[in-house]
Structure 1
Amino acid sequence: MSSPMENHQKRWNRRLLHTFWVVWVVSIVIECLYMLFVTAVPPDEFVGPYLLRPTALLLLVVLLADAGIRMLPKHHDYLLITASALFTLIVTAVHSTLDYLLFFLFFPVMVSILYFRYSILVYAISTAAFDLYTLYFINPNIHSRISTIEIVTMTVILGVYSGIAFFVLARGRELLQNLISSYESNQALQLRNMEMFKLAKTDYLTETYNHMAYHELVDKLVEEAEKGRLLLHLAVFDIDNFKSINDTYGHRAGDQVLRKVAEVARSKVGSHDFVARYGGEEFVILFTDLDFLAAYDTMEQIRRSIASTPHESLSGRSVTVSAGINRYVNGMGKEKFFQGADAALYDAKHSGKNRTSVSA
């Protein structure tokens, strides 16, 4: 899968190719206008060398560049710089009598800045210099009209262009680095905020939601249940005889029992259900996508699983839990919702423990 940076680069490559196509079309229009209104060369002598031949060559360069970045995507930058150098070389060679077009040879240097790489810029400067001296020594029109001092002057101008390009590139890379640093700092801050949010909502010992998070969740869920958007059930359970566990085995063993009980409960509920430590050895579960029988069966699975789980801290003994479960009905409100489940838990405790009772 392509990275975002690669996708951005592909878009810029396509834009650059579109620019080549536009220049190709504009060059045809300009040549036609030049033939009709400017040059004294007869049309039959002008069309071949000044219109058809350069147009075909420019078309070939664009097509090769397009095919090259498809087949050789890793070398797209050098291919497009080469294409821009050939583009300017062809246009300048065709109209060698127009001295100002020699400055068009610096076009690859401008294109190279898009890639934010010094190696690409150096390659572009090299191709621009190669084009300039190739035309000067091979094209007789240019060689006869451009003096040595003028070619030296153009070389100096190329150097100035290149220096400006280096400064622009350096400044761009500096801004990019600052942007990356700012982005990374922002990401780190977001991660810290997420960690702080998680710590604020999570019980450290059991890794379930804490008491405060439960109240925030139940407020929202009750509101949704009142609108008929979900089925809502609440189970309240706690560990039987937990005080004797702490007294006999110590608080460290008690903490390990709490952790294991919470782990079992989390493993049994669905992805849309919420387990929270209400306080001490008491836990609550909010079931949001189950009907009453399914919620009751899930609570029973949790109870039986806890009863069959040995604890090393208790010398291999298991613990039991008692639970009460309540179904939310319209107009009940969160207080009565909890009181009903808590009353059912009280009933389970006084009916022999290690059982799940249903709210009246």
Structure 2
Amino acid sequence: MKDFVNSSDASIHRQTKWIKRFLETYWVVIALHFAAQLYAYLYLPYEIEAGIFYYKVLLGPTLLMGGSVAAAQLVDRFAAKYSFISLFAAGTFVSMVIIHLNMDIRIIGAVMLLPIMASAIFFRLDLTLYTAVLQIVAFCIMYNWDSRFKAFLGPFDLIAIPIFILVGTLVAGIIIVNGRELLYDLETTMTAKQSLMAENATMLKISKTDALTGLFNHMSFHEYYEKALEYGELGVPFHLALIDIDNFKGINDKFGHRTGDLVLSRVACTIQENIPSTDIATRYGGEEFAILLFEQTFEEALCLMEQVRTAFSETRHAELGGLAVTVSIGLKSYERGTTKERLFEDTDALLYTAKRSGKNKVVTPLQTVDEGSAVL
């Protein structure tokens, strides 16, 4: 028998889940049939001896149906590639037993149609056709080997029931085709939506970051700055640091703008490597950078800025003839009630104090840290 399992891992997982659910449903059907037969015997007119009823109608058929379902579960566990075959073979057998015990032309077609309708949930035409063939084979077996079943049917039934099964198969096929189209449309829509989301995320990232340095840009700084001020008003401390590359115009004039861009990129990398991920580093404009520092005391922020400054002054650049690039830094903490303009202006003033007083230093409202180094 051809292996019906030929799909993606996600599809296989879904199918495996539904196979187990159907097998569990078969047990529910058997239990309900057992209860219905017992109730009918005890409380409805039922002209049959107790021994025959319990052996041939209740226990025997229940054990046969349960055995077929248990066998299907074993196949599903130890030979999963044959799970579909065993699943609907067991379902067909259960249908045959129920029809044999409840000979009524009104339920024959409906019971035999149930496995076909159930197979449609997997959206596979080959599986539905296989299940339909099983029902036709089961009908032929019962007609040729079950004398009661054969005697119960009339000539019209021999035509009507197979046609009913075929029509049901056709309906299931239409459901499958339409379901596949809907699934394809849904997947196409989801793919397009994911692509659009990825494009939007890329565009958002581009709009928020500086193309040369990869840091947040001027606009992003003000967005985060506003948020920081809101948290600051709630008592969350933060600090603002402004960094400016010393003698950057001289670098551009002497070594060219390409070398200047390289220096800017390296400065940005040094900043990112030395600050925690909770801090916000931005290229404010030109050779100036702004950093918002969170979750640390002023002393820790000062130590961190000294670490950044030292890292710059100790890095030599081959493109600059082995010279180091230094930076001047202004650092100030936010105090509740301070406006965004006042904090920025005060920090900017500290930065220019550092520039005017010799460069390559960190200046704060509390202290000035002087360091000498080879400067350009």
Asked whether the two chains share a fold, i.e. TM above 0.5, the reply is: yes
**Equivalent-residue separation in structure 1 for 2:13 and 2:334 (angstroms):** 50
Provide Cα deviations, 1:280-329, integer angstroms capped at 9, x if missing partner: 10001111122212222221222222223333443443311111111112
Aligned position for 1:185: 192
RMSD: 2.4
Instruction: Describe the SS at the equivalent of 2:272.
Output: helix
Contact 1:77 1:115 in 2 (8 A): no
1:200 paired with 2:185, answer no
Aligned position for 1:156: 163
Sort the Cα spacing of 1:301 and 1:126 in 2 relative to 1 into closer, same or farther, 3 A: farther
**Equivalent-residue separation in structure 1 for 2:83 and 2:344 (angstroms):** 65
Q: 1:259: Cα distance to partner?
A: 1.0
**Equivalent-residue separation in structure 2 for 1:188 and 1:327 (angstroms):** 42
**Equivalent-residue separation in structure 1 for 2:318 and 2:122 (angstroms):** 62
Contact 1:343 1:359 in 2 (8 A): no
Q: 1:333: Cα distance to partner?
A: 2.4
Q: 1:73: Cα distance to partner?
A: 5.4
Q: 1:141: Cα distance to partner?
A: 1.8
Q: 1:130: Cα distance to partner?
A: 2.4
Instruction: Describe the SS at the equivalent of 1:207.
Output: coil
Question: Unaligned regions of 5+ residues in structure 2, if any?
Answer: 1-7, 367-376
Sort the Cα spacing of 1:317 and 1:5 in 2 relative to 1 into closer, same or farther, 3 A: farther
Aligned position for 2:310: 304
Provide Cα deviations, 1:152-196, integer angstroms capped at 9, x if missing partner: 432222221111111110000000110111111111111111111
The correspondence of residues 241-252 of structure 1 with structure 2, limited to 5 A, is 241-252=247-258
Contact 1:102 1:132 in 2 (8 A): no
Contact 1:264 1:302 in 2 (8 A): yes
Instruction: Describe the SS at the equivalent of 2:53.
Output: helix
Provide Cα deviations, 1:106-136, integer angstroms capped at 9, x if missing partner: 2211111111122322222222222222222
The correspondence of residues 319-338 of structure 1 with structure 2, limited to 5 A, is 319-338=325-344
1:30 paired with 2:36, answer yes
**Equivalent-residue separation in structure 2 for 1:341 and 1:81 (angstroms):** 77
Correspondent of 2:127 among 120, 130, 141:
120
**Equivalent-residue separation in structure 1 for 2:58 and 2:50 (angstroms):** 10
Contact 1:322 1:353 in 2 (8 A): yes
1:274 paired with 2:317, answer no
Correspondent of 1:294 among 287, 295, 300:
300
Instruction: Describe the SS at the equivalent of 1:123.
Output: helix
1:89 paired with 2:65, answer no
Sort the Cα spacing of 1:165 and 1:223 in 2 relative to 1 into closer, same or farther, 3 A: same
Sort the Cα spacing of 1:66 and 1:327 in 2 relative to 1 into closer, same or farther, 3 A: farther
Instruction: Describe the SS at the equivalent of 2:278.
Output: coil
The count of residues paired between Structure 1 and Structure 2 equals: 357
Greater shift, 69-78 or 309-318, is seen at: 69-78
**Equivalent-residue separation in structure 1 for 2:57 and 2:75 (angstroms):** 27
**Equivalent-residue separation in structure 2 for 1:270 and 1:163 (angstroms):** 65
The correspondence of residues 1-40 of structure 1 with structure 2, limited to 5 A, is 9=15, 12-13=18-19, 15-36=21-42, 37-40=44-47
Correspondent of 1:146 among 153, 171, 191:
153
Identity of aligned residues (%): 33
Question: Unaligned regions of 5+ residues in structure 1, if any?
Answer: none
Instruction: Describe the SS at the equivalent of 1:39.
Output: coil
Q: 1:100: Cα distance to partner?
A: 3.4
Q: 1:224: Cα distance to partner?
A: 0.9
Q: Which amino acid aligns with 2:268?
A: A
Q: 1:102: Cα distance to partner?
A: 2.6
Q: Which amino acid aligns with 2:310?
A: R
Aligned position for 1:209: 216
Q: Which amino acid aligns with 1:285?
A: I
Instruction: Describe the SS at the equivalent of 1:323.
Output: strand
